[in-house]
């Protein structure tokens, strides 16, 4: 089994567990984080538990294909966000990432820091060839993070995620193991 936590200078990524349910519920229920969230706001903690239970079960398997972490600030043990690396189960050695930080933690460089660490993890520990991410067209902050670390915008998919505001175009990004990265 690959390690259950990852570390950066300021942050720890720990595979989510039942102790994270209240934080995850609050994060997913926040109106600002829901803006580009295709999951929607859960109506209750029980809805969040139903959604997150398969994530926790996946994290307990011997071979994890979908690493879902809660991100925590090491200076104050405050949970600040979620991050996932989903591995393909095919011969193409691909991964896909998504992330969500609490609005109080935006514009502090956390998403960039975690994304760089997860790219290292995917390329070094899993020998991935490619890691990709999708990003709602209107989500300029997330697009900036992806481009800042060196991901390449490959194209635009029309009306792919159904958001609260309606169907949205989605930019597709990727980075290859051989591509230069910006730390």
CATH number of the domain where residue 142 is located: 3.40.630.30
Mean pLDDT of the chain: 88
**103 within domain boundaries:** yes
**125 within domain boundaries:** yes
**33 within domain boundaries:** yes
Look at residue 164 in the predicted model and tell me its pLDDT. 59
Look at residue 1 in the predicted model and tell me its pLDDT. 43
**143 within domain boundaries:** yes
**183 within domain boundaries:** no
Mean pLDDT of 151-165: 76
Look at residue 144 in the predicted model and tell me its pLDDT. 95
**181 within domain boundaries:** no
Please check the confidence at residue 86 and state whether its pLDDT lies above 80. yes
Look at residue 181 in the predicted model and tell me its pLDDT. 82
Range of the domain at 53: 5-176
The structural domain count of the chain equals 1
pTM of the predicted model, to two decimals?
A: 0.90
d(CA 157, CA 172): 7
All residues at 6 or more sequence positions from 113 whose CB lies less than 8 Å from its CB, including other chains: 8, 9, 10, 11
Mean pLDDT of 20-47: 82
**182 within domain boundaries:** no
Token output for 27: 């994060």
**39 within domain boundaries:** yes
């Amino acid at each position: 089994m690959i390690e259950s936590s990852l570390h950066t200078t300021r942050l720890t990524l720990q595979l989510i567990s039942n102790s994270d349910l209240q934080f995850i519920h609050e994060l997913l229920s926040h109106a600002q984080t829901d803006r580009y969230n295709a999951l929607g706001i859960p109506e209750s903690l029980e809805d969040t538990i139903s959604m997150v239970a398969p994530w926790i079960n996946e994290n307990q398997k011997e071979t994890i294909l979908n690493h879902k972490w809660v991100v925590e600030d090491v200076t104050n043990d405050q949970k600040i966000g979620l991050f996932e690396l989903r591995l393909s189960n095919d011969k193409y050695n691909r991964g896909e990432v998504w992330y969500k930080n609490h609005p109080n933690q935006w514009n502090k460089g956390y998403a960039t820091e975690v994304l760089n660490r997860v790219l290292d993890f995917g390329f070094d520990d899993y020998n991935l060839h490619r890691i990709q991410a999708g990003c709602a067209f209107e989500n300029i902050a997330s697009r900036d993070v992806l481009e800042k670390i060196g991901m390449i915008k490959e194209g635009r998919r029309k009306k792919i995620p159904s958001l609260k505001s309606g169907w949205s175009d989605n930019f597709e990004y990727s980075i290859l193991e051989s591509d230069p990265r910006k730390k």
